[in-house]
Structure 1
Amino acid sequence: MDFDTIDIVAQPELTDSYIGYLDAATAKIIDGAAALGALRSRIEIQSEFTRTLIDSLDKGVGRLVDADMNAESVRLKALQAQQDLATQSLQIANSSPQAILSLFR
């Protein structure tokens, strides 16, 4: 049976079977809609989980970059301090070479 073949006027004796067919078709439509609703819920849950995961990964990467930048900043400051000390040592050595030589005697 098909929706196109239902004709109550031409075959009124088949009305009960038409109603049964329509009830069965309606039940299948409801089952299909319920399955689609369940799939939609699962997709929304997975989508929210993915959004949360992406956000936490972005935060983690940001923290790693910040940590690397802090370590590099400390390393740069240490190198600058060494350079400043070396420059000061050279200035002292150039200003009084005799005093430096007396230290080594």
Structure 2
Amino acid sequence: MSRDPGLQPERTRLAWRRTLLAVTAILLLELRLAFTGRVFDALLAGLAVATWLGVLVVDWRRATGAGPRGPQRWSIPFTALAAAGLALLGVLHVVGGLR
């Protein structure tokens, strides 16, 4: 008997794409802050770009199914750590004097 996946794969792909969209929005806001002329903001923007690139690779592979079949054990923890890192980035901006 073959398995009928229904809409679950589509919902999963859409969830990964929403995650990537949210991280992209955070990156754009971070890049806007990077042009304040402060080195601190430029360094944080560099960290945001590196995080975005990592999430882009992981989420794109998950959303498009381009990666190996089956779940990859590191993709969800990596994305969770990236989200926590971006939250910490916001805290650093507040502590560093967000303009």
- Place the TM-score, normalised by the shorter chain, in its bin: 0.3 to 0.5
Provide TM-score, normalisation by structure 1: 0.33
Structure number having the greater helix percentage: 1
Whichever of the two has the greater Rg, that structure is 1
Q: Which has the higher contact order (CA 8 A, sep 6+)?
A: 2
Q: Structure 2 length as normaliser, TM-score?
A: 0.34
